[in-house]
Amino acid sequence: MILDEPDSAYLSGQLLIAMPGMTDPRFEKSVIYVCAHNSDGAMGLVVNRSIDSLTFPELLEQLEIDSDDGGEPIRVLFGGPVEQARGFVLHSPDYLQDASLVVDENIALTATIDILKAIAGGIGPHQCLLALGYAGWGAGQLDTEIKSNGWLNVDADSDLVFGIDLDDKWAKAMAKIGIDPRMLSDDAGHA
């Protein structure tokens, strides 16, 4: 996982939108928040696919974390196919730890149990989502996938990242850049 070169952050803080012709079923109609992208590779979290087999209270119980039940329930998301047993919290920067990665002025990433305890105790970040696993790309791999017509990118905003209507995020992300998905071709064109 690449998390340490903020000065060469090509697509860090952007959203990737899977093209309609995405052949990998794990990423079909996915919207991915890019946490880090540099010459060594990229790392991001899928923000529009829930894990229905596990709830946040069940996860807290498995981790033996007490909950005051006063906080808003958060969904557990499929963050990507890499390290699916590992949790990542994408959140507003009003809650930071030494271990937090500040991606940009609006979003940070923390992958410690302390943030889960804070959320369970009602003292966590104002906005957050919990993802199990992440999407990762080796050096140059994401660039190649973009050039091969696999992904589009768009500026992230709070609604697209933290909004609760997961089913509409892909269409909203496409609409944000003025694209009607029905008008897109699955094949890259060449002049």
Q: What is the pLDDT of residues 8-49, one digit of tens each?
A: 458 999 999 999 888 889 999 999 999 999 999 999 999 999
pLDDT at residue 34 in the model: 97
Q: Across the strands, what pairs with 91?
A: 108, 128
| pLDDT value of position 30 | 96
pLDDT for res 173: 94
User: Model confidence at 67, in pLDDT bands (50, 70, 90)?
Assistant: confident
**Percent of residues, the chain, with pLDDT higher than 70:** 87
Domain ranges of the chain: 6-183
User: For residues 179 and 186, what is the distance between their CA atoms, to the nearest angstrom?
Assistant: 14
User: Which CATH class, in words, describes the domain spanning 6-183?
Assistant: alpha beta
Instruction: Give the pLDDT confidence of 79-98 residue by residue, as tens digits.
Output: 999 999 999 999 999 999 99
pLDDT of 185: 55
For the cut 70, the answer to whether the pLDDT of residue 1 exceeds it is no
**Burial call 137-146: b when 16+ CB within 10 Å, e when fewer:** beeeebeebe
pLDDT for res 27? 95
In this predicted structure, what is the pLDDT of residue 184?
63
pLDDT score, position 117: 92
pLDDT for residue 186: 53
Strands (E), the chain: 14-18, 31-38, 41-46, 76-78, 82-91, 101-102, 108-110, 128-138, 151-155
pLDDT at 189 exceeding the cut of 60: no
| 165, amino acid identity | D
Tell me how crowded residue 24 is: count the other CB atoms within 10 A of its CB: 11
Q: Is 182 helix (H, G, I), strand (E, B) or coil?
A: helix
Confidence class of residue 71 from pLDDT cuts 50, 70 and 90? Answer: low
Average pLDDT of every residue of the chain: 87
Query: What pLDDT shows up at residue 3?
Result: 43
pLDDT 10s digits, 117-174: 999 888 899 999 999 999 999 999 999 999 998 999 999 999 999 998 999 999 999 9
